[in-house]
Amino acid sequence: MAAAEAREDSGQYVLHHLTNLKLDLRSMKIDPDATGFWVLNIDSIAFAVILGALFLFFMIRVGRKANTGVPSGFENFIEMVVEFVQGQVKDIYPHANSLVAPLGLTIFAWVLLMNFMDVVPIDWLPYIGEHAFGLHHLRIVPSTDINITFGLSLSVFVLMYIFSFKYKGVIGLGKEFLTHPFFIPSGPLVVLNVLLVPVNVILRLVEDIAKPVSLALRLFGNLFAGELIFVLIAIMAGQAFNGTVSGAALGFAGFLTQLVWAGFHMLVIPLQAFVFMILTIVYLASAAQSHGEDH
């Protein structure tokens, strides 16, 4: 009986930590069970906006102090990050463009900050939110919300088409849709190009749709898995308070596991931000290049 209650409590603990603070726009009420298009995960949005505002605040502050004296350690760090992103853009992106480098920096820093929330002890902010503000659910890692990652990736998807129209024009983009990857330039079989047009269009649509989908799911999957493991480790560590020797042993093991996983996750956090940034630059570079150009 006690074991069954422990399993139920553990299940409720996991479910509680994986439930967003949801606002149902139809009733304008907080409802953790709400589903559908008209539901906002307001905790994810709030933390994403706050972290984005922090990024802007520090970047503006560093920018204003850039030429006022000897740079501090933090200013040197920001300068290194900016130069690193500019170097990546220079190596990947084929044209001079004043948007791509700031976009890459914004994506990298914003995703990094959202990911970094995953190393904040999982019960701290939800506890404060519940006891200070009456928020019964609170998820603090925006990148574990698939709506946030898809929002970012769909923005990249829109930019891909904007860049395609800018550098190729309507005719050039239409030609790519109709003649790539299969096209017979000459010969008796050239009439088959008409039959190949539907195949080319379908393949192009699949290719373009796969880019934002894979971009969103890669970031979401890695961070959601990390969050879930932290929740499971917290359950193990919580056994230290059940008053038994085995519970104390599990609690100690949970504490050590927490340290090891947090150390490993500190590698995953910047890596996923870097991958998201690099793939964004690669997709924009591909959109700005014709298929006949050398890569």
Which residues make Cβ contacts (< 8 Å) with residue 16, sequence separation at least 6? 137
DSSP, collapsed to helix, strand or coil, labels residue 24 as strand
3-state secondary structure (DSSP) of residue 17: helix
Which ranges constitute the DSSP H helices of the chain?
2-17, 42-65, 73-92, 100-116, 124-133, 146-179, 193-238, 245-288
83, exposed or middle or buried, with CB in 10 Å at 0-12, 13-18, 19+?
A: exposed
Helix axes 42-65, 146-179, angle to 10 degrees: 80
* Annotated catalytic residue, options 27, 214, 242, 290: 214
Burial of 18 (0-12, 13-18, 19+ CB in 10 A): middle
The answer for residues whose C-beta is within 8 angstroms of residue 285's C-beta and 6 or more apart is: 92, 93, 94
Taking the mean position of all CA atoms in its chain, how far away is CA 249? Answer: 36
Dihedral (Cα; 120, 279, 275, 54), 10-degree rounding? -30
Residue 246 annotated as catalytic: no
Identify any residues that bridge with 24 across adjacent strands, giving them in sequence order. 29, 39
User: Burial of 196 by CB count in 10 Å (0-12 exposed, 13-18 middle, 19+ buried)?
Assistant: middle
Query: Is 155 marked active-site?
Result: no
Catalytic annotation, pick one of 44, 115, 143, 222 = 222
Residues 6+ positions from 251 with CB-CB distance below 8 Å: 236, 237, 238, 239, 240, 241
* Active-site choice (193, 204, 218, 286): 218
Q: Is 222 a catalytic residue?
A: yes
Catalytic residue annotation: 214, 218, 222
